[in-house]
Amino acid sequence: MIKSFTESKIIKKANLLKKLDMYPFFRAIEASDGSTVTINGQKQVMIGSNNYLGLTHHQEVKEAAIKAIEKFGTGCTGSRFLNGNLSIHEELEEKLARYLGHEDALVFSTGMQTNLGTLSAIAGPKDCMLFDSENHASILDSARLSFATTFKYKHNNMESLEEVLEGNMSRFKKMIIVADGVFSMTGDILKLKEVTELAEKYNAYVYVDDAHGIGVMGDLGRGTMNHFGLEDRVDFNMGTFSKSFASIGGVMSGKKESIDFIRHSARSFMFSASMPPSAVATVSACLDVIAKDDTIHKKLWKNVKFMREGFKNIGFYTYNSQTPIIPIFIGDDIKAMEVTNFLKENGVFATPVITPAVPKGEALLRTSYMATHNMKDLEYVLEVFKKAKKALDIPSIRH
């Protein structure tokens, strides 16, 4: 007899949390202006979003999306390979290549498809990929599709990476170092300079998943490569549009010959319907907006600095984050749920990260900040967190 999925551990855990009124996922947002949302009629300050530049509600961006629908319709109904290739797709790719500082770029329908398609295209059974232990789940899934051998090295630990490189340099046709530019849970920045130096020493490729770096890091948000001035030393650079660029989709940039190979080999690109016109126009408009308004990034980093210092003064451990992602160490999974509930009851939307997303005893609250957060809301968030720390005895140090 087939075992019911209701007997699985994950469903039992979810049902228990629902019974205890502590289930923090799939909260239905009824209205939003970006930095605040309405849930069950209650207005909440949103500090659980990746909308770093706050462009989802920018008037020029919304107007561009509407105009694209009026001209091209709501969808492309096919792959870029066949009937779904619009002139605005190619225009966006040219604009992104210039913005990122690479020769060429290719846009995918989602960020996950970008990783799945690219990594499975450029790596095969005779190759190996070296993963940072905190890489995004889409990278792990990509390894399964590629049939390449995979190795993990300790998070941002260059001695660990070199050990793996040295031990495998003669065993495989290609070695590819794959790591997030900005790590999505802790907000760490990749030690990209050291990574590129090791890659050159051991003749390996460098692949950066910059989903949380593009739009934020570097000059006008050009990404982690630009932040370190290393565009010419990164072979493959991936980004997403579902964070800073207010839409959905992904981009892979690199040398023209590499991108052309991916264009003709990546199955998730070839066999998926293309980005809808409204999404393409949204990303293009976001690039235009940040190019002419340098106050957006100034506001973002001002808000990040204010919150980072505020959490430090209250006594939270924030993993020394240097990005708009500011994680709050909680420790216990149940306590993370309790803190999330406390915040919700006091009008603050934050998201808990618990096992298996993090190791047991490492539960945290992942908070993130936008250019459009106003100071009144941020001050209120700190007040609520201060009350939560006292009421729920949140630790000040990571054990």
**Mean pLDDT, rounded, of the chain:** 95
Do 13 and 25 touch, CB atoms closer than 8 A? no
When mean pLDDT is compared across 14-23, 160-169, 201-210, 244-253, the lowest value belongs to 14-23
Query: Percent of the chain, pLDDT > 90?
Result: 87
pLDDT at 122 over 70: yes
- The reported pLDDT for the residue numbered 2 is 60
Q: Which one-letter DSSP state was computed for residue 8?
A: S
Instruction: Tell me what pLDDT residue 5 has.
Output: 87
pLDDT tens per residue, range 69-91: 999 999 999 999 999 999 999 99
110: pLDDT strictly greater than 90 = yes
Rounded Cα distance, 358 and 362, in Å? 6
At 230, the amino acid letter reads L
Residue predicted with more confidence, 146 or 325: 325
> To the nearest 10°, the Cα dihedral for 314, 320, 326, 328?
-50
CATH 3.40.640.10 residue ranges for the chain: 57-292
Looking at residue 399, its pLDDT comes to 65
Question: Going by C-beta distance under 8 Å and a sequence separation of 6 or more, which residues neighbour residue 290?
Answer: 53, 55, 215, 220, 221, 296, 297
Q: Is the pLDDT of residue 274 over 90?
A: yes
Listed residue (330, 391, 367) closest to 44, CA to CA: 367
Report the distance separating Cα 247 and Cα 226, nearest Å. Answer: 22
Least confident of 1-5, 120-124, 198-202, 215-219: 1-5
Query: Could you read off the pLDDT of 130-145 as tens digits, one per residue?
Result: 999 999 989 989 988 9
Q: Is 6 exposed, middle or buried (0-12, 13-18, 19+ CB in 10 A)?
A: exposed
Interval 4-61: pLDDT, tens: 888 888 888 889 888 888 888 999 999 999 899 999 999 999 999 999 999 999 999 9
**pLDDT tier, 160 (very low <50, low <70, confident <90, very high otherwise):** very high
- Write out the residue limits of the CATH 3.90.1150.10 domain(s) in the chain: 5-56+294-392
Checking if the pLDDT of 1 tops 60, the result is: no
CATH architecture, range 5-56+294-392: Alpha-Beta Complex (3.90)
Distance (Å, whole) CA 154 – CA 304: 27
DSSP 97-109: HHHHTSSEEEEES
Q: Residue 145's closest CA among 272, 269, 268?
A: 268
Give 70's contacts (C-beta < 8 A, 6+ positions apart): none
**CATH pick for 57-292 out of 3.40.1280.10, 3.40.50.620, 3.40.640.10, 3.40.50.720:** 3.40.640.10
The pTM (predicted TM-score) of the whole model is 0.95
6 DSSP 8-state letter: G
Checking if the pLDDT of 3 tops 80, the result is no
Kindly give the pairing relationship between strand 205-209 and strand 175-180.
Answer: parallel
Residue 92: both structure tokens together: 């966006």
Over the stretch 333-381, which tens digit does the pLDDT of each residue have? 999 999 999 999 999 999 999 988 888 899 999 999 999 999 999 999 9
